[in-house]
């Protein structure tokens, strides 16, 4: 009997410690997000909390758009941060290797500016679309070429979206053509790249507006 009394006394102590009010709750445990008064976790609120105090970048903020595939946005992020896997970038990290540009006949060293902006094929692609869209600007570097499209603010919604996404698709398809030349031994061709860009852009505009003319 004495042992039973001791057990009951010990149980009372445990219940009291678990719930000082004397009422033990049998509800399931719940995770509480202490950063917000509601206690509920929200991905958007967490993103705002993490992103507070960070400086915004005009260029990097423009590579994310509903009509730009996520893989293209991440590619543009790596391109603008100069982190694409080419010999020029590896060389800056201390890893030196043979370098040969597959987009030109003189076998120049493969560099980001050369591949995406200065080489003849890249220049033909950029010139074709700037002429087709009526964009009048002098562009000397890759970043200047890309940003020039974002600096224009057409009133028509279709042209506004076009100017937002086109430079990303130009860079993306130059990169794809380069990789095909490296790994599949195919020859880079400005006309083929232009056709691929046009096909993707028209497809995205069709999704956005249900119908669109193939002309830019």
Asked if residues 174 and 116 have their Cβ atoms less than 8 Å apart, the reply is yes
CA dihedral 203, 130, 101, 142 (to 10 degrees): -100
Q: Please give the residue range of the domain that contains residue 111.
A: 58-209
Q: How many residues does the chain have?
A: 216
In a domain, 215, yes or no: no
Question: 182: which residues sit within 8 A by CB, 6+ positions away?
Answer: 102
Domain shared by 112 and 137, yes or no: yes
Domain shared by 128 and 106, yes or no: yes
Question: With bands split at pLDDT 50, 70 and 90, how would you rate the model's confidence at 177?
Answer: very high
185: left (phi over 0), alpha (psi -120 to 50) or beta: left
Segment 67-77, tens digit of pLDDT: 999 999 999 99
Q: What angle do CA 154, 155, 156 make, to 5 degrees?
A: 95
Domain shared by 42 and 67, yes or no: no
Segment 117-173, tens digit of pLDDT: 988 899 999 999 999 888 876 667 899 999 999 988 778 888 999 999 999 999 999
Alpha helices by DSSP H, the chain: 2-18, 43-51, 58-61, 70-80, 87-92, 112-113, 120-133, 142-151, 157-183, 190-209
Domain shared by 186 and 82, yes or no: yes
Domain shared by 184 and 160, yes or no: yes
Q: What is the percent of the chain where pLDDT is above 70?
A: 75
Domain shared by 23 and 89, yes or no: no
* pLDDT at site 108: 73
Positive or negative, the Cα torsion across 115, 87, 196, 144? negative
Domain shared by 204 and 106, yes or no: yes
Domain shared by 79 and 166, yes or no: yes
* pLDDT at site 13: 45
Q: How many domains does the chain have?
A: 2
pTM exceeds cut of 0.75: no
In a domain, 107, yes or no: yes
In a domain, 216, yes or no: no
């Amino acid at each position: 009997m004495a042992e039973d009394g001791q057990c009951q006394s010990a149980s009372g102590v445990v219940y009291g410690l678990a719930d000082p009010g004397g009422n033990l709750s049998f509800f399931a445990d719940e995770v509480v997000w202490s950063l917000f008064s509601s206690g509920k976790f929200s991905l958007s609120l967490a993103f705002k909390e993490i992103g507070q105090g960070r400086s915004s970048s005009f260029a990097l903020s423009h590579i994310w758009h509903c009509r730009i595939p996520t893989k293209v946005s991440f590619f543009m992020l790596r391109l603008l941060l100069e982190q694409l896997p080419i010999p020029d970038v590896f060389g800056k990290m201390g890893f030196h290797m043979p370098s040969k540009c597959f987009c030109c006949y003189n076998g120049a060293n493969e560099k980001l500016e050369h591949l995406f902006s200065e080489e003849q094929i890249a220049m033909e692609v950029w010139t074709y679309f700037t002429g087709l869209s009526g964009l009048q600007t002098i562009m000397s570097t890759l970043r200047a070429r890309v940003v020039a499209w974002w600096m224009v603010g057409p009133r028509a919604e279709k042209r506004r979206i076009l100017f937002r996404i086109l430079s990303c698709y130009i860079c993306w398809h130059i990169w794809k053509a380069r990789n095909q030349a490296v790994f599949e031994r195919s020859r880079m061709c400005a006309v083929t790249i232009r056709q691929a860009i046009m096909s993707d852009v028209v497809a995205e505009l069709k999704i956005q507006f249900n119908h669109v003319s193939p002309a830019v």
